[in-house]
Structure 1
């Protein structure tokens, strides 16, 4: 459905600032329910692609065609959505690691280590490691002692997941960063805030690079 919505916007020649057609018309054109359409538009709104105004329609706030028309439109929009999400998460994740390294209690440090070992076990078994990865990072967020880190980051990730179950249909996107999580856990539990911040930045950079690689491969 997202692919069809992207195509509709592009075919209509809509640019940032333009108003989308009424939801009833879009749903009818795409052959989907209004509930399904609203779910997609709500996800896009949380990622900054559209702005929804009560009684004022839906405004396009970001280009959906991506950097080039040579790649599939849906891939381009998904990549831009993921990269936009990562850009906002980046300072939050890095600062959370830095604070956790300095402020974590012994119990919190033990939990970070335990979650890291769980993640490594799942990854080394060749299983889907996404849930274990989320729990590992949640342990770091909790270790800051500030619940806002976890709340904000979860909200950002949920906004992306509400539209895309897995980036580009690739649940294992970013798998090459998993080995770095062992060192990240060590930096946090060892109180090395700067090393932890550098490792978190590297993990995010590699994930963003993986997203860009998918776009380039689709060109």
Structure 2
């Protein structure tokens, strides 16, 4: 049975932003107050506020401009009347559930097959990727590309051309589960820990262990995302 998406913090923030826009008579083209001001006014974290703004940006209601702030592009109700905005956000939650459901079906089997076919060279590549991932996180540098590359290398390690083509074809869909507004330092650290457990099973050529490590990795990330939105 599909888990029902709860009303996340950022959907409540969307309602607050809509109320603020109405109360202040903001019009398309007007700039919203700075993030720090909105976060303080709504008593929420900057991360939750950014999730709300990202959801509105996807609906073309606001636009974040580098170094300039966030601007209102359209009247809320002229784009999506009433609670339709929040319904669209809930659709996004359902898509995330579907993506993780798919990943739980296919990626543990990819890990199990990779365990059978891993060699020293590919294992060393995985270790270098995770090392780079750890170093980037420590230095507060861009880190998410290493997560994607880790899973892509696992696919390559299977040696199965059909799996590789299928996963390449749906890469953009899978990457939705790695979207920037779903990330946090804690989630990135969890990913590193999960990757290390997968590598440990691969080195031992334990298919069942690799399958189990991937299952645990995906379950932990999914739970973290939906518990912290």
2:200 aligned with 1:196: no
Change (3 A) 1:166 1:188: same
- 2:179 pairs, out of 166, 186, 206, with 166
Equivalent-residue separation in structure 1 for 2:157 and 2:226 (angstroms): 32
For this pair of structures, how many residues does the alignment match? 152
Equivalent-residue separation in structure 2 for 1:165 and 1:210 (angstroms): 12
Equivalent-residue separation in structure 1 for 2:204 and 2:138 (angstroms): 24
Change (3 A) 1:204 1:181: same
TM-score, structure 2 length as denominator?
0.56
Instruction: Name the residue aligned to 1:104.
Output: 118
Change (3 A) 1:164 1:195: closer
RMSD of Structure 2 on Structure 1 (CA): 3.1
Equivalent-residue separation in structure 2 for 1:160 and 1:140 (angstroms): 15
Equivalent-residue separation in structure 2 for 1:114 and 1:209 (angstroms): 27
Paired residues of 2:115 and 2:207 also in contact (CA < 8 A) = yes
Paired residues of 2:96 and 2:177 also in contact (CA < 8 A) = no
- 2:144 pairs, out of 126, 130, 142, with 130
Change (3 A) 1:182 1:79: same
Equivalent-residue separation in structure 2 for 1:126 and 1:4 (angstroms): 30
2:102 aligned with 1:81: no
Structure 1, unmatched stretches of 5+, are: 6-28, 32-68
Q: Which moved more, 1:96-105 or 1:114-123?
A: 114-123
TM-score, structure 1 length as denominator?
0.58
Structure 2, unmatched stretches of 5+, are: 1-56, 62-77
Q: Secondary structure at the match of 2:170?
A: helix
Q: Secondary structure at the match of 2:93?
A: helix
Q: What is the CA distance between 1:164 and its match in structure 2?
A: 8.7
